[in-house]
Amino acid sequence: MTALSDLLADANVQGWSTREIARRAQKNGHKLSQPSASVYMGGRHGVPTEPVLAAFSDVLNIPIDKLRAAAGVPAGDGEPWAPPAEANRLDRRQRLALEELIRSMVASETSGEDQDDDQQDPARMDREAQPDGVMPPAGGRRPRREDYDRAADASGSSLLEADDARAAARGEESQDPGSDEPA
């Protein structure tokens, strides 16, 4: 059991089943499934999301800051943060950047370090246009550390040559206007 699941069990004075807790959460507008309720009540969970904590807070009448403390996440101010009125002047890209900054700050405070790009939730990231306006490569893959290491190593083939070789193996033709050779 975890401190969070102990707190949830102690607050469940009605003795509701996880199915009943999930039903009540959904009735109040939360998205808490019965399996998720079971995982948290049974202590077999990771770090809970804010919506999960809000659902348990609402259904079991536990202050959200007590739930956060039991989960080992920053307690926060207790109330949702509302940005100043000037925030209405931000465009979509600026708002996404600010939201990601907030998530990064909370994640750093929780774990003591920043999350890698690989650990971030891709649904929250706008991968269509980068801040500099450049579109990501086809397939959405960003360069990895080994790509940079390989590019810096002059002894082997370059990334471009390696890409050309892979394209030729697939039977693709070169798009280089100065070349009549196959890729």
pLDDT: is 24 or 132 the higher one?
Answer: 24
Dihedral angle over CA of 105, 92, 29, 56, nearest 10? 0
Supply the pLDDT for residue 7.
92
Q: 9-18, 56-65, 96-105, 129-138 — which is least confidently predicted?
A: 129-138
pTM: 0.51
Placement of tokens 């925030």 in the chain: 87
How many angstroms from the chain centroid is the CA of residue 79?
A: 22
> Which phi and psi angles does 182 have, rounded to 5°?
-65, 155
pLDDT band at 156 (very low <50, low <70, confident <90, very high): low
pLDDT over 50 (residue 128): no
Rounded alpha-carbon distances, angstroms, from residue 79 to 11, 64, 68, 88: 21, 9, 13, 20
Q: Does position 85 have pLDDT exceeding 70, yes or no?
A: yes
pLDDT band (50, 70, 90) for residue 134:
very low
Residues of 131-153 as b/e, b for ≥16 C-beta within 10 angstroms? Answer: eeeeeeeeeeeeeeeeeeeeeee
